[in-house]
Chain A
Amino acid sequence: MLVFLQTLSELYLPTLMADIVDTGIVKGDIDYIIRIGGLMLLVAGIGTVCSVMASFLSSKTATGFGTILRRKIFARVESFSLQEFNHFGTATLITRTTNDINQLQTVTFMIMRMMIMAPIMCIGGIIMAISKDRPLSLVIVAVIPVIAIVIGFTMSKAIPLFKLMQLKIDKLNLVLRENLTGIRVIRAFNRIEKEKARFEDANADLTENAIKVNKIMAALMPVMMLVMNLTIIGIIWFGSIRIDHGDMQVGSLMAFIQYAMQIMISLVIFSMMFIMVPRASASAVRINEVLETVPVITDAEKSASPGTKKGLLEFRDVTFSFPGAEQPALSNISFTARPGETTAIIGGTGSGKTALVSLIPRFYDVDRGSVLVDGMDVREMPQSSLRAKIGFVPQKAVLFTGTVTDNIRYGKADATAEEVRQAAATAQALEFIEGMKEGFDAVIEQGGINVSGGQKQRLAIARALVRRPEIYIFDDSFSALDFRTDARLRGALKQETAEATVLIVAQRVTTVMEADRIIVLDNGEMAGMGSHKELINSCAVYREIVYSQLSEEELA
C-alpha cells in the first residue's frame, strides 16, 4: 500500500510539471507556477514519507522472516544425529545457518521494495503516457519489445553461466576443504605440489567462468542506457512534429519523456530480479536441504520401562557401516561390559574403535544386531535418558566459551562447587586450573584456544566425571597427556569409577594393559578379546601392536 502511494506520487509529479510548463510558463503566470510548484513539493513529500515507511516495514518483515527461518534451521540442525550432521559437514551448516539466511533476508527486502514498485511504476507509467499523448506512446510500445529482447538474450546467456559459477565455487571449496582436512597426510606424503596444481585448476576454471559472466553482464547496462536514450531522442523527434502540428504541448512532451524513463527504469529493475533470484534460489535450495532432512535417529514412540541391570553394556552381533560407505566399519561385534569392569579397545587407525563407542550413546544406529544398555536396546530408550547414563569424552576435546566451572558443569548443570573441584582433581586438572589467574573462573575462549591440547582433554574428562554416570566412554582421551599424567590419571580414575562401567579407546598399549578386558579391533572385526596376558599368547594382531610399542624389559 505504501509502496503503491509512493509510486503514485512519483507518477503524478511529471504531470504537475507539465502543467507548470504548459500553463504557467507559456502564459507567464507566476502565481500559477508557485501554486503548482508547492503542490509538487507536497506530493514529493508524501512520496518520501511513504518510501521511508515502506522501507521500514519491508525491513521489519524481511528481518522477521530471517529470524523465523534461522530459528527453524538451528533447531533442526540441533536435532540431527551425527549421521546427518556429517553428511553435510560443519562448515556448510554454518554457512547455511548464517550467510544463506542473510542472503535470503536481503533478497526478500529487495523484492518487497523494488519488485512491487517496478510493475506498478511500469503499468502506471504506461497509463499516464497514453493519457498524455496516445500516438506518441507508440514509440514506447515499439521500444519495450527491444528491451525485452535485450534482457532476454543477456539472461539466456548469463543464467547458465551463473549456475555453472556456483558449481565451480563449490568445486574450489571442495578442493580447499580436502586440503584442510587432509593437511597432515598431504604434508606427510609430500603431495603439496600435486594439491597445488589441483587448486590452481579449480581456481583458473572459476576465474575464466567469472570473467565470461561479467563480460556478458558488462553489455547489459550500457545497452539498456543506449536504448533508453535513443528512445528519448525518438520521443523528442516525433513529439516535436506533433507539437508543430499543435497536437501536443511542450510540457506534455517533457512529462512524457519522464514517463518513458520511469517505464524503462522499472524494466531494468525488473531485469535485476533475474540476477538476484537465481542467487537467492541457490541459498534457498541449500537451506531447504537442511530443513527437509529428517533425523533418522528418533525416540521410539513408546519406550519400554527402564531396564534393571544398572550399568550393564552389551553388544550383540553388531554390524555397522557409515552412511555411503561400501565396507562395514564394524562387523559381528559381541561383548559384555559390567559395572566395575574396565574394557579397553585397541586397534590401528580406521579399525573401527571410534565407530564402536559412537554406537553406545546412539550417535548412529546399527545395521544389524543390537546395542543394549541396562539390558535394554538403546533404540527403545529415549535419547535423553540414555545419554544421561553416559559420561562421554570425545576424541577431539571440545570446550565452549565460558569459565572453567561452566565447562565442567556442562556435564551436570547443578553440580556444587565441591563436586566441580573433585572432578577436576580426579582429572588431574586441578594443578593447572589453580595455576591460572582466575582459577575456576578463568574464561575459556571460543574453541578453547587459550588452553593446551592436554589441558583441554583433562577438562573434557572432568566434564564427564562430574556427571557420575553409569558408563564412562573415553575415546582416545589420554593421547595428549604425557606418560606420567596419563598414569596418575588412570590411578585416580580407578577409584572414582569403581562402580561404573568403563570403556577406554586407546592406541597406547600402556593405557590398556591393566584393563579387565581388551578388545582388539582389526578392520572392523574383532581380532581378539581377553586380558593382556591372554591376548599376548593368543592374538597375533595384539602381539604385533605390543611389540611395536614396548621394549623387551617392559614386556617382561
Chain B
Amino acid sequence: MSKERDRQGFKGDHDGGPRGGPMGPLGRPVEKAKDFKGTFKRLLGYLKPRRYRLLVVLLMAILSTVFNIVSPKIMGKATTKLFEDLMLKFQHVPGAAVDFNYILHILYILAGLYIASAFFGYLQQYIMASVAQKTVYDMRQDINLKLSRLPLKFFDARTHGDILSRVTNDIDNIATTLQQSLTQLITSVVTLLGVLIMMLTISPWLTLIFLVVLPLSALVTKAAASRSQKFFAGQQKALGELNGHVEEMYTGHQVVKAFGHEGESIEKFNTINARLYEEG
C-alpha cells in the first residue's frame, strides 16, 4: 500500500464524530470516501484470508434462501389442492373429499424445507460472526501497529478523540456492516433471482405485470430519495458543524473559561442546534 493512500485514508473527512439521523438508512448520504476504490480494495484484502469461510457463508445463504423461496410454491400446492377438493365437494361431485394424505405429505416436505432453511441460515450467521469479528480484530491490530510507527507530529495535529473514534466507532460500524449487511446483500440477491424464477414458473403473465410495475416503484423511490437527500445534506452539514464546535470548545475548555466565553459558546451551539432541528 502506498504511503499516499494511507494519508488519504486518514484524512477522509475531518469534521469527525459519528453521524446518524433518526431517518433510517434511506438514501442517507454517507461520508463519501475520497478514494473509494482503494478503500474497497483494502477491505477485500482483509477479507482475503477468510475467503473460504466466506464462500461457505455464501453457499449457506444461497441454500437457506432457495429453500425459503421454494416453500411458498409447495405451500401453494397444499392450499390449491385443498381448494380444488373443496370446490368439487361443493359441486357435490360424488366421491369428492379433501385428500388429507396428500396435504399431510406436502406439509411434511414443507416442514423439512423450513427446518433446513433455518439451519443453513443459522450456520451462515454463525460463521459470519467469527469472520466479521476476526476481520475487525485484524484491523484494530493493524491500526494500533500503525499508530506506534507514526511520527509524533501526527498525534499533535489530531485530537485523541478523533483517533479514538476511528479505532472504536468506525471499526464497530464495519463489524456491524459485515455481520448484517453483507449477508443481507447475498440473501437479497439470491431471493430476487429465486423469486423471479419461481414467479415465472407459477405464471409468466403475472411476472410480466410485476416487471412493468417494478421500474415504476423504483422511480418513485428515486424521486423521494433525491428530495430527501437535499434535506439530509443540510442536516449532515449542521451536524458536522455542531460536532466541530463541540470538539473545539471542549478541547479549549480551559481557555473558554479563562476568558469567560462560556456564554458566547453556548449561544453559538444553540444556533447550530436549532438549525439542525429545522433541517431534521
Q: Which residues of A contact B (CB under 8 A)?
A: 26, 58-60, 62-64, 66-67, 70-71, 74-75, 77-82, 85, 90-91, 93-95, 97-99, 102-103, 105-106, 108-109, 169, 172-173, 176-177, 179-181, 183-184, 187, 192, 195-196, 199-200, 203-204, 207, 210-211, 214-215, 217-219, 221-223, 225-226, 229-230, 232-233, 236-237, 240-241, 243-244, 250, 253-254, 361, 363, 383-384, 387-388, 390, 392, 394, 398, 400-401, 410-411, 446-447, 449, 460, 463, 467
Check B243 against A244 for contact (C-beta < 8 Å): no
Instruction: Among B250, B276, B277, point to the contact of A90 (Cβ < 8 A).
Output: B250
Check B277 against A67 for contact (C-beta < 8 Å): yes
Given A99-B18, A173-B164, A447-B248: A240 and B82 within 8 A (CB)? yes
Check B273 against A67 for contact (C-beta < 8 Å): yes
Q: Report the bound CA distance from A78 to B248 in whole Å.
A: 12
Check B273 against A71 for contact (C-beta < 8 Å): yes
Question: Which 4 pairs across A and B sit closest by C-beta, in order of nearness?
Answer: A218-B125, A214-B129, A91-B161, A109-B22
30 CB contacts below 8 A, A to B, read: A26-B87, A63-B21, A74-B266, A77-B253, A90-B160, A90-B161, A91-B160, A94-B246, A95-B161, A99-B169, A102-B18, A102-B21, A105-B21, A106-B22, A176-B168, A179-B144, A183-B155, A211-B130, A218-B122, A221-B121, A229-B71, A236-B107, A243-B98, A244-B98, A250-B79, A387-B259, A398-B255, A400-B252, A447-B157, A447-B159
Tell me how many residue pairs across A and B have CB atoms closer than 8 Å.
262
Q: For chain B, residues 258 to 279, give those with C-beta under 8 angstroms from any C-beta of chain A.
A: 258-262, 265-266, 269-270, 273-274, 276-277
Q: Name the interface size band of chain B.
A: 35 or more
Q: Report the bound CA distance from A361 to B258 in whole Å.
A: 7
Q: How far is the CB of B152 from chain A (nearest CB, A)?
A: 7
CB contacts (< 8 Å) of B128 on chain A: these are 214, 218
Check A446 against B244 for contact (C-beta < 8 Å): yes
Q: For chain B, residues 115 to 161, give those with C-beta under 8 angstroms from any C-beta of chain A.
A: 115, 117-119, 121-122, 125-126, 128-130, 132-134, 136-137, 140-141, 144-145, 147-148, 152, 155, 157-161
Additional 11 contacts, C-beta under 8 A, given A63-B276, A94-B243, A183-B152: A26-B87, A78-B265, A91-B160, A94-B246, A98-B18, A98-B243, A203-B140, A218-B129, A240-B100, A243-B82, A400-B248
Given A94-B247, A214-B125, A250-B86: A172 and B168 within 8 A (CB)? yes
Q: Report the bound CA distance from A200 to B115 in whole Å.
A: 40
CB contacts (< 8 Å) of A195 on chain B: these are 148
Given A218-B125, A390-B258: A196 and B145 within 8 A (CB)? yes
B104 at the interface (CB under 8 A from A): yes
CB contacts (< 8 Å) of A93 on chain B: these are 250
Check A180 against B22 for contact (C-beta < 8 Å): no
Check A199 against B161 for contact (C-beta < 8 Å): no
Check B155 against A180 for contact (C-beta < 8 Å): yes
Given A200-B141, A222-B125, A447-B251: A177 and B17 within 8 A (CB)? no
CB contacts (< 8 Å) of B19 on chain A: these are 102
B63 at the interface (CB under 8 A from A): no
Of all chain A residues, the one with the shortest Cβ separation from B104 is A237
Check B107 against A237 for contact (C-beta < 8 Å): yes
Check B129 against A222 for contact (C-beta < 8 Å): no
CB contacts (< 8 Å) of B195 on chain A: these are none
